Amino acid sequence: MKKRGIGLGCAWYGTGYGNGFPDVSSAFVEIHDDGSATVLTGAVDVGQGSNSIYAQIVAEELGLQAQDICVYSADTDATPDSGTTAATRQTYNTGNAVLKAVRQAKVRLLDYAAHKFSCPTSEGIELKEGFIGVKGDPTRRMFLADMVFQARINGERFISAESSTARSTPVDPETGQGAPYWPYSFGCQSAEVEVDTETGIVRVLKVVAVHDVGKALNPTQVEGQIAGGVVQGIGFALLEELELQEGRIKNPAFSSYLIPTALDVPNIEAFFVEEAECTGPFGAKGLGEPAMLPTVAAVINAIDDAVGVRITSLPATPEKILQALAEMKQGRDTEN
């Protein structure tokens, strides 16, 4: 018999290395005389889309399009260290380093432009849609590329290097006081499952996921990262199990260490709540791990709702579910 159930899971997660560990990211930025810009950073884009985020940050600050920005990342010979792509930290940490770097280069550019336009202060200069000029006076503007070219032949370069350090403090073991992480991410998910009481196989039918992401710099990427986290969470809940024997991994291949395939992916509805994080780049914060954590609890709770058994160790394999069902039946028979 197949039975259906619905479960809820919630999570909060401190991003970054945390507990006072040095959490530093660095970036170089150069504005070129063809109206483009280059970003160099050691942050590794492993598919989560961090290079796109850095391009968007620089483009937003310089009034350009993202395709005008070239991001070079993860070249240990040429790019500055930005720490690991882990702990949900690259959008927040390296994003802040990139933002600081582009703003540093921009300050020099605006000062140069103010002099060229005979403007008493750089406060009166704006960058917009590929142009640089005097605010409120469309007759006094020029292409950004032309301005940077003129600066170049006069010996000016708009190059910057910056770092950003996430602030956290160790927790006092005596008092429990401290600020071990910042910022925090929050999320809530519901899962609907179908449990086959004959085989113990669980099929996840639908997941609805809602996450706090700060300001979503790229909403499409946010939805994709939530969906990816849900799929990883399903694997954590139902499939992934590292088998060890005397310190050796017994299942080192994907034929024996199971992860979800496309056929295991349910209907996923992803939503996000935008409340800008004041310390993040344009209000953004990380979403990596937080997207998969509530899935596990939601799936396990949905199994309980469907067949009335509580699985207390992961993954919830068919064998564990059949054993739990048998124990539940035995308990009922004993009571009767």
**Residue 289 falls in the annotated catalytic set:** yes
Look up residue 103 and give its amino acid.
Answer: R
Active-site residue, from 243, 289, 327, 335? 289
What gap in Å lies between CA 130 and CA 132, rounded to an integer?
Answer: 7
What gap in Å lies between CA 193 and CA 172, rounded to an integer?
Answer: 42
Per-residue tokens: 187: 């999320």
8 Å CB contact between 267 and 209: no
Bond into 260 cis (ω within 30): no
8 Å CB contact between 43 and 71: no
> Which of 284, 251, 225 is closest to 48 using CA atoms?
225
Instruction: Please give the helix or strand (H or E) that residue 216 lies within, else none.
Output: none
User: Could you tell me the strand order of the sheet in which 184-196 lies?
Assistant: 2-14, 184-196, 202-212, 267-273
What gap in Å lies between CA 258 and CA 35, rounded to an integer?
Answer: 48
What gap in Å lies between CA 290 and CA 184, rounded to an integer?
Answer: 9
Catalytic amino acids? 289
